[in-house]
Structure 1
């Protein structure tokens, strides 16, 4: 039997490993805490695992799966589904340092991070999402206008996520520069950076490829609610 790649079910790998403190549930299914995110996963597609996942959805509301393949979950209904690409970078393409200043973001920046993510919608972002990993940002006159950081952290891998720029400040190379910094720090730790993008978002995928990311596989995003 071929062993499963840890990124085939990155949510399960993260919430049953390094990020277990953020998990709800202790059996064959886990959901990330509701003030951290919306993600859910099961260890496998066995009936016990799917039943445990359905119970978590009933208890905590809408939850998103993100994995290779996705068996139907009895007791839930699909709110939305989309094909995504999962990309990894074994190395980054050479580039000069960013031509702008940026800084580490701290707990004091949490309200501004949530406000920027709510405005720009880079993906699910809740009140404590920033606690999943390190974030960096660009500020102008004290206002946070761009950021990028880390989300899921399966053993040996860290996801680059939360990449967004205020609409009034786009076109300055902030996203690429911040992503390059975040991914570079992950590589410096001896880990592999990865990310997800909707398969239809060819512009973003093209940008990620210029940084050194390549498509590893397709994954399916499935948003579930109680039936």
Structure 2
């Protein structure tokens, strides 16, 4: 199996195993960390195990290159197409480093508030535990951030890229995305990321940073009937 085809599974069974629950057929992130889950493959038993991990009233986000099969007992609340992009060459750090600060546990409430406002993807109270995050503060407030999400041997995803509406149009997302991708390359990993297939502006930004399209991905939100 190509790990990038099932990046959630690859992460849950390697670098993020301690942030997950499940078994060798299906796993999901701990409820306060993220909503993503994955089966090992699309065989019947693995899908049944995946369905058991979705609590009544809860949801699971699935992201993979193969077309998603909905497990018995679950229903599809939403489905969309995305793209997976990979930095084929290591990215250099941005020339402007001033103002970029590391974010940690003490910043978690502000990070959650910014992500809740801007909706870069599922972001919960402990999502910041998935990897390194950085941000830019303006007048003491967190104006923009970016960080890491899925990670497995040789690859780390750039994610959580968002800017407060009051500070858009200033290139903050570009600076932070490049900073995170450069840090990933510096430790020897290949940076990759995901964007909605219809988000032309984001795809153009990432292309300008050196990311190239690898594959389309299927994304679904599942819940109990």
Paired residues of 1:92 and 1:211 also in contact (CA < 8 A): no
Q: Distance in 2 between matches of 1:193 and 1:95?
A: 13
Deviations 1:113-164 (A, max 9, x none): 0011011111110000001000010011221110000001022100000000
Listed as ranges, the matches of 1:27-66 within 5 Å are: 27-58=24-55, 61-66=58-63
The equivalent of 1:141 in structure 2 is 139
Secondary structure of the corresponding residue to residue 171 of structure 1: coil
Q: Distance in 2 between matches of 1:171 and 1:99?
A: 18
Decide which structure has greater strand share: 2
**How many residues align structurally?**
224
Q: CA deviation at 1:60?
A: 7.2
Provide the secondary structure at the position in 1 that maps to 2:174. helix
Q: Within 5 Å, give how 1:1-227 maps onto structure 2.
A: 4-58=1-55, 61-69=58-66, 70-91=68-89, 97-98=95-96, 100-227=98-225
Displacement over 3 Å in runs of 4+? 92-96
Are the equivalent residues in 2 in contact too, given 1:93–1:210 (CA < 8 A)?
Answer: no
Q: Normalising by the residue count of structure 2, what TM-score does the alignment of the two structures yield?
A: 0.95
SS of the residue corresponding to residue 66 of structure 1 reads strand
Shift of 1:59: 5.2
CA–CA distance in 1 between the matches of 2:33 and 2:108?
A: 12
Q: TM-score, normalised by structure 1?
A: 0.95
Q: Following the alignment from structure 1 to structure 2, what is the Cα–Cα distance between the partners of residues 94 and 156?
A: 18
Please give the alpha-carbon distance, in whole angstroms, between the structure 1 residues aligned to 2:21 and 2:57.
Answer: 9
Change in Cα spacing, 1:17 to 1:93, as seen in structure 2 (3 Å) is: closer
Shift of 1:183: 0.2
Runs of 5+ consecutive residues of structure 2 not aligned to the other structure: none
- The unaligned stretches of length 5 or more in structure 1 are none
Listed one character per residue, the Cα deviations across residues 168-224 of structure 1 (whole Å, up to 9, x for unaligned) are 001111100000010001011110001000100011000000000001001100110
